[in-house]
Amino acid sequence: MVWKVLVINGPNMNLLGQRESELYGSLTLQDIENHLARRAKELGIEIDFFQSNHEGDLVERIHGARGYDFIIINPAAYTHTSVAIRDALLAVGRPFIEVHMTNIYAREEFRHRSYLSDIAMGQIVGLGPLSYSLALEAAYFLLKEKHGAQIHQG
């Protein structure tokens, strides 16, 4: 069985490698996607990527995620403001993991509130690009557990 995972990134994530390197490091979003694509292939997972700076585009992409088994999402700044993204995730009913490269709880007070954390399968924060890798591994194990399949160590 091949599972499909969708990785969604919100505003300003397209500027990774150019913005605030002290917080986000030097890797680009493409670098992270390339790494995830290689690991997904090893795990036998089909993976797609989407990034937008526009809330409505993110909501539309989530609406189109019904054909996916799992979502990994870094809503970026929309984490703290978007009821629309929350409602879209609830509407499609797909399990998801919320990812943040920085520790949102160690940053400005307004970043401590996530509109998604209470409906997510889990949240991985503060581990830089590794946050995405861990989310993919977690999605794989959660899907295997749900479907009672033997875990392949790729």
Q: Is 78 a catalytic residue?
A: no
Q: Is 152 a catalytic residue?
A: no
Name the nearest CA neighbour of 121 among 101, 103, 105, 99.
Answer: 99
Distance (Å, whole) CA 38 – CA 90:
29
Cα dihedral sign for 135, 71, 107, 112? negative
What residues does 8 pair with on adjacent strands?
Answer: 50, 73
Catalytic-role residue among 24, 115, 132, 140: 24
Name the nearest CA neighbour of 119 among 96, 144, 146.
Answer: 96
Expressed in percent and rounded to 5, the helix, strand and coil fractions of the chain are 50, 20, 35
Catalytic-role residue among 68, 100, 115, 132: 100
Neighbours of 137 (CB within 10 A): 13
**Enzyme catalytic residues:** 24, 100
